[in-house]
Amino acid sequence: SSAGSVTATRSPSVAISDDAPGYDLDLFCRPNQYAEDLEKVFIPHGLIMDRAERLARDVMKEMGGHHIVALWVLKGGYKFFVDLSRPMTVDFIRLKSYCNDQSTGDIKVIGGDDLSTLTGKNVLIVDDIIDTGKTRQTLLSLVKQHNPKMVKAASLLVQRTPRSVGYRPDFVRFEIPDKSVVGYAPDYNEYSRDLNHGCVISETGKAKYKA
């Protein structure tokens, strides 16, 4: 089957419609252990990589060349971060806000360097997915307390969901329906990070990996 309606929006993101059927799993290579855990391939790896290159160009153009500190939100954004941040200085922060496929609304900073090192820097926060936006808004507030010169945010995915507080990152690869997508680093309770494609997890997979 085809991917269905995939259209470029006026922003740099690509919007995938709510009724997009995705692709049959058998058309793509995937780890055998996930055979019953996935419903379909939603975003093929090649499309993700092409969007990575374009988004990196947009970031560098807007934020002023190579003088950028990329703040990686562990663990979910690691593949996205590697593709995006090769010409940048890097720093790390680890957050916890999810249980199963829902954001808890609470943000816990559980690792990373002292954010005071960001003072006076051009900072790019890199994450894998935005749903409600509460976690990202809280992190932005924490970063801004240390007076960076500039702070922007990039995300692989933004979900269209009624739970959203209306936050949207400055740079987005894909806007997607309110589905549980795993692969290319986004996970389900730490499972399925190793998939190269963005896939919709099945109800069987949700039950298997439920916290």
* pLDDT tens per residue, range 1-28: 445 445 444 346 899 999 999 999 999 9
Q: Is the pTM of this model over 0.75?
A: yes
Helix, strand, or coil (residue 163): coil
Whether the pLDDT of residue 176 is over 90: the answer is yes
The domain 6-181+195-208 is placed in CATH, from the list 3.30.70.920, 3.40.50.2020, 3.40.47.10, 3.30.565.10, at 3.40.50.2020
Give Cβ neighbours of residue 55 (< 8 Å, ≥ 6 apart).
12, 84, 154, 171, 172, 173
Average confidence (pLDDT) over 34-44: 91
Q: Of 27-36, 86-95, 133-142, which gets the smallest average pLDDT? A: 86-95
Model pLDDT, residue 10: 39
Model pLDDT, residue 65: 61
Give Cβ neighbours of residue 32 (< 8 Å, ≥ 6 apart).
none
Cis peptide before 75 (omega within 30 of 0): yes
> What's the whole-number average pLDDT of the chain?
80
End-to-end CA distance of the chain: 33
Distance CA 171, CA 80 (A): 12
Annotated catalytic residues are 131
Average confidence (pLDDT) over 150-168: 91
At residue 56, φ and ψ (nearest 5 deg) are -60, -40
Whether the pLDDT of residue 102 is over 90: the answer is no
C-beta neighbour count of 29 within 10 angstroms: 8
Average confidence (pLDDT) over 112-124: 79
